[in-house]
Amino acid sequence: MSEIRLTLKIWRQQGPDAPGRLETYESGPISTDMSFLEMLDVLNERLTLEGKEPVAFDHDCREGICGMCGAVVNGQPHGPEKETTLCQLHMRHFNNGDTLVIEPFRARAFRIEKDLVVDRSGLDKMITAGGFVSVNTGGAPDANAIPIPQKNAEEAMDAAACIGCGACVAACPNASAMLFVAAKVSHLSLLPQGHPERARRALDMVKEMDELGFGNCSNERECEAACPKGISIRNIARLNREFLKAAIFSNED
Amino acid sequence: MILDAKIPDGPLAEKWDRHRFQCKLVNPANKRKFDIIVVGAGLAGASASASLAELGYNVKTFCLQDSPRRGHSIAAQGGINAAKNYQNDGDSTFRLFYDTIKGGDFRAREANVYRLAQVSNNIIDQCVAQGVPFAREYGGQLANRSFGGAQVSRTFYARGQTGQQLLLGAYSALMRQVKKGKVEMLTRREMLDLVVIDGQTRGIVTRNMLSGAIETHAAHAVVLATGGYGNVYFLSTNAMASNVTAAWRAYKRGAYFANPCFVQIHPTCIPVHGTYQSKLTLMSESLRNDGRVWVPKNPGDKRPPAEIPENERDYYLENKYPSFGNLVPRDVASRNAKEQCDQGKGVGSTGLAVYLDFSEAIGRDGAPVINQKYGNLFHMYEKITAANPMHEPMMIFPAVHYTMGGLWVDYNLMSTIPGLFVLGEANFSDHGANRLGASALMQGLADGYFVIPYTIGNYLATISSGTQSTEHPAFKQTAAEAAAKISKLLAVKGKKTVDEIHRELGLLMWDSCGMARNAEGLRQALDKIPAVREEFWQNVTIPGSGHELNQSLERAGRVADFLEFAELMVVDALSRKESCGCHLREESQTEENEAKRNDTDYSHVSVWEFTGQDKSPEFHKEPLVFENVEPSQRSYK
C-alpha cells in the first residue's frame, strides 16, 4: 500500500436548473488500495467536517453490478480501466500528482440532478416500451419444455449482462442509447421466449429512444469501449437487422 | 396479543393447497377498487408488484434507487434452488424442505419452509418464460450445480450473475405493468413511516429524495419488501443504502420483530484494508474446495507467507475438524477465523485476515486446472487487492452477509398490523437461524410471485373497498413527525460525521453481537449503545438542507434507526442463551467447544413488541413444532 495525492476538479451543480462549474480540491493523502468512490468518501468526510456540502454521487452495491454509480473521469465514463465500473476502479491506477477531472454522465436525455447525479429514467422508459416478454405469473410451462441451444443461451447472457448504468450514452458523441437498446433486443431475440414479440419490441424500443432525445448511432464504437460489462457492438448490428426486418417484413406498424 | 401463525391444518404436503382453497377471493371486477403499496423493488418487491398488478390491483411501487432495476438482490452470485430433480439424483420437494429446515438449525416453521420448497419449481418455470438466460447444457436443457448444505445438484444459475438476471426478469415484468398503467413506479423515494388508522395499515409517508418533499400515500394494504439490516454493522456485503428504517418504523407502529439477532456471517470475504473502507466484497465459498486455510503459528509473525515454513503454519480448520477440514459450514469457518485473529495470529496490514492458500492444489492439479475453476474469482480478487492468488495466498475474513431475522409474519406473510405484509429478507419466516446458499433468491421470488397474490386477497376480501385518502389526520400527523425528525437531525450541527458514528456502532456490534456472543459482552453493549446514540443526537453534523438531494441527511436518518434497532438485537441475543445456526453463545458449548443448541428451552421464535420509546420491548414466544422432521445436533468433527 502506498499513498498518493491528487488534484480533483469536480463538477458542482446545486440542482437541475442551477449553473454548474468545476471546483478544485486537493485530495489529501489517498491510499492506493481505495476504490474511486472511497476516495470521494474521504473527500466528502473532510468537506462535511469543514461545514461544506459534500459531493453528491450515485452509488449502491459497490460491487460493479447494480449500475447505480458512474461519472466521467478525465473524459472517460467510469474512468480509464477497461470493463470496470467506477466503484471497482482502484486508486492504484493513478499516479501521485495526477489531476482528475470528474464530471457527470452528460447527455440531452440525462438531466443533471445535482453534482454527479443524473436522471437516467429514460433507460427505464425504453424497457417499459417493450423490453419484456408478455407472460403473466403462473401457468408457465416446465422450464425444460423448450430446449435452448447452449450457444444461444450464452449469447443471450452476454447481452443480458447490461447493468443499465448509462456509460454507453455518456461515451457516445451523439448521446445515443443504441447499445443499451441493442443489448435488450438481442437478449430477447436470441431466446425462443422472446420471439412472438420481437418485431414489436424492436420497433417500440427504437421509437421510444428517439422520442426521449437520445441520438443516432454513427458507428463511433465509443459505447463498447466504455461499457463496464463488455457488451459488444455486434448487438447493434443485430438490433439493426431486427429493426429492418420488423419495419419491412412484419405486419406490425 | 396472542401470536397466531395461522398455519393451516392437515398433512404438511396438503397445507398450502388447502389454504389456497380456503382463502377468500376478491372478484375480478372488485380488484381494481383496491390500492396496494409495495415498498422496495428487489426480487420480492418487483415480483409482488408485477404479480399483483397482473391480477388487477392498483399498485404503487417505491424504491430509493434511481431505477427499480438496482435492488441489492442484483448482487447475488451463486444461484437459486429448486426441487426440479432434473438431475435424477434423488431430489424432491421434501428433500429441499428438509435441507432448508436442517440448514436453519431447526429454528424455522415447517409449514412455511415446505411451501417454499413446493413453489420453488414454479419459480424456475416462470423465470425461463420471462427470458432469464439460465446456464444450459449442450443439449439445451437447464444446467445445475451443487451448493453448500445439500447433497444433490439443484441450483440453477446464470454465470455468477444469477441475482442480476432474476431481478431483471422481475423488473421487466414490473415495467410491463407500468406500461399498462397498473403500476405507478416512484423511484428515489424513501419510506419514512407507516400510517396506521384504527389498528389497520392505511399507507406510508415517504421523502422524495430529489426535492426533499415529505409525501403521503394511502392504500388498502402495504407490502414491505425492504431487505435486511446487515448494515447495522457498518461494514457488510449489503449495498450502501440497505437499511432497517422501513421495518423499524413498522415495528414502532405495532408490527412485532422476530429473531433480530439471527445474522449470517459469510466466511470468505475480501478483508478490511483501512478505516476508509466502505463495503465488503464476498468471494464465492466454492474457493474452500481447493484452498487451505492457515495462519502463522506464532502470534505477531509478520513475515510474508512464502517465508513462513510449513512447520510454523497452523492449518487450524484441518487440525480441529479432521473430517470436514476446510469445508466446515459457514458459521464454523467464520468463528474460527475471528478466534485466530483475536489471538493475534491474523495476517495482512490490519491483522484481520487469514490465508486461503491454493499452492497445494496448484501443485496437485496444475495451474491450468485451478485457473479454469477459479480464474474469474481470482481476477475479481486481483482487481480489488492487486494480488494474484495463483502466486500468493489469498487473504479472507468473515463479513456480515444476510439477516434471517425480520418482521414477524404469519403464514399469510401478514405482520401483526392488519394490512401490513412483509416479504423477502425483510421478514423472518423461512431460514431459521441460518440460510442455505441459493435460498435467498428462492424465498424472495416465492413470496412475491406465488404467495402474496393469494394471501393478500384473503385480507382484502375482509375490508371495505372504499376509496382510501390521505386526508385523514393520521397522515398529516405522521408526516409532521417525519418532518420534525429531519429538522431535529439538521439542527444538531455537531462535530462528527454520520459515518464516524455509524462506524463506531458497527464495531461495537461486531465485537459483542457478531458470530460469538456471551452475556457479559452483550450486557456491556447494552450499556454502550445508548451512549453512542446520545453522541449521535448531540454531535452529528449534516451539511445542507432538507429541501434538496442531501445524501448525508439520508444516511443520518438510517443510522438514527440503526442506533435504536441495535439495542433490540442485543436484547434478543442476550435472551437466547443457546448456540444455534449462525451464532455461538459461548456459555452454550459442547465439551469439544462446538455450538450446543438447546431445544428444551429455545425451540421458539423470539418475537418483540414495541412498548414505547425508552421502554423495554415485550417478549412473545412462538413455539416451533416439528411434526415431520426430527431436530438433530450438527457435528463436523
For residues B169-188, average pLDDT: 98
In the predicted structure, residue B634 carries a pLDDT above the cut 90: no
- Quickly count helices (H) and strands (E) in chain B: 18, 22
Q: Which residues of A touch B159 (CB under 8 A)?
A: 157, 161
The yes-or-no answer to whether A3-111 and A121-248 have a common fold is no
The CATH classification of domain B12-264+402-460, taken from the options 3.40.50.150, 3.40.1280.10, 3.50.50.60, 3.60.9.10? 3.50.50.60
pLDDT tens column, A149-193 = 999 999 999 999 999 999 999 999 999 999 999 999 999 999 999
B465: CB partners within 8 A, 6+ apart: B30, B33, B34, B220
Q: Give the gyration radius of chain A's Cα atoms.
A: 20
Q: What is the pLDDT of residue B379?
A: 86
d(CA B244, CA B229): 5
Domain borders along chain B are 12-264+402-460, 267-399, 474-617
Relative to beta strand B292-296, strand A111-114 is unpaired
Average pLDDT, chain B: 95
B459's grid cell: 385480507
Greater pLDDT, B78 or B348: B348
Give me the percent of chain A exceeding a pLDDT of 70: 100
Interface of B with A in 29-58 (CB under 8 A): 47, 50-51, 54
CB A6 within 8 A of CB A98: yes
| Cα distances (Å, whole numbers) of residue B32 to A45, B26, B27, B54 | 49, 10, 10, 11
In the predicted structure, residue B148 carries a pLDDT above the cut 80: no
- Domain with residues B267-399, CATH architecture: Alpha-Beta Complex (3.90)
Binary contact (B543, A15; C-beta < 8 A) = no
A113's grid cell: 440532478
The question of whether B330 is a catalytic residue gets the answer: yes
Q: Which of A61, A88, A157 sits opposite B158 (nearest CB)?
A: A157
Q: What is the pLDDT of residue B272?
A: 85
- Domain with residues B474-617, CATH architecture: Up-down Bundle (1.20)
CA–CA min distance B312, chain A (Å): 26
Q: What is the pLDDT of residue B375?
A: 85
pLDDT tens column, B61-70 = 999 999 999 9
In the predicted structure, residue B252 carries a pLDDT above the cut 90: yes
| Interface probe with B: pick from A65, A112, A163, A187, most Cβ of B within 10 Å | A65
* Residue among B101, B81, B104 nearest B91 (CA): B81
B244: CB partners within 8 A, 6+ apart: B229, B231, B232, B558, B561, B562, B565
* Residue among B245, B66, B42 nearest A58 (CA): B66
Q: What is the pLDDT of residue B147?
A: 76
For residues B575-592, average pLDDT: 93
In the predicted structure, residue B330 carries a pLDDT above the cut 90: no
Q: What is the pLDDT of residue B349?
A: 87
For residues B316-321, average pLDDT: 93
Binary contact (A31, B276; C-beta < 8 A) = yes
d(CA B391, CA B606): 48
d(CA B315, CA B495): 46
DSSP code of residue B448: I
d(CA A132, CA B176): 7
Q: Which residues of B touch A82 (CB under 8 A)?
A: none
For residues B324-346, average pLDDT: 89
Q: What is the pLDDT of residue A173?
A: 97
Burial class of residue B237, CB neighbours in 10 A (0-12, 13-18, 19+): buried
B367: CB partners within 8 A, 6+ apart: B390
For residues B392-409, average pLDDT: 96
Backbone angles phi and psi of A232, in degrees to 5: -85, 145
Q: What is the pLDDT of residue B636?
A: 67
CATH number of A121-248: 1.10.1060.10
- Tell me the sheet residues that pair with A12: A21
**Confidence class for position A252, pLDDT limits 50, 70, 90:** confident
Q: Which of B202-216, B380-394, B439-453 has the lowest mean pLDDT?
A: B380-394
Q: Which of B281-290, B360-369, B572-581 has the lowest mean pLDDT?
A: B281-290
Burial class of residue A100, CB neighbours in 10 A (0-12, 13-18, 19+): middle
* Residue among B232, B240, B195 nearest B214 (CA): B195
DSSP code of residue B616: P
pLDDT tens column, B434-453 = 998 889 999 999 999 999 99
Q: Which of A188-197, B169-178, B582-591 has the lowest mean pLDDT?
A: B582-591
| Interface probe with B: pick from A132, A151, A154, A184, most Cβ of B within 10 Å | A132
The answer to whether residue B165 neighbours chain A at the CB level (below 8 Å) is yes
Question: Looking at this protein, which amino acid is placed at residue B272?
Answer: V
* Residue among B624, B484, B538, B455 nearest B21 (CA): B455
For residues B388-403, average pLDDT: 95
Q: Give the gyration radius of chain B's Cα atoms.
A: 24
For residues B580-604, average pLDDT: 92
Domain borders along chain A are 3-111, 121-248
- Domain with residues A3-111, CATH architecture: Roll (3.10)
Alpha helix (H) residue ranges in A70-193: 121-130, 150-160, 167-171, 178-189
Q: Which residues of B touch A33 (CB under 8 A)?
A: 273-274, 385-386
Backbone angles phi and psi of B36, in degrees to 5: -125, 135
DSSP code of residue B290: T
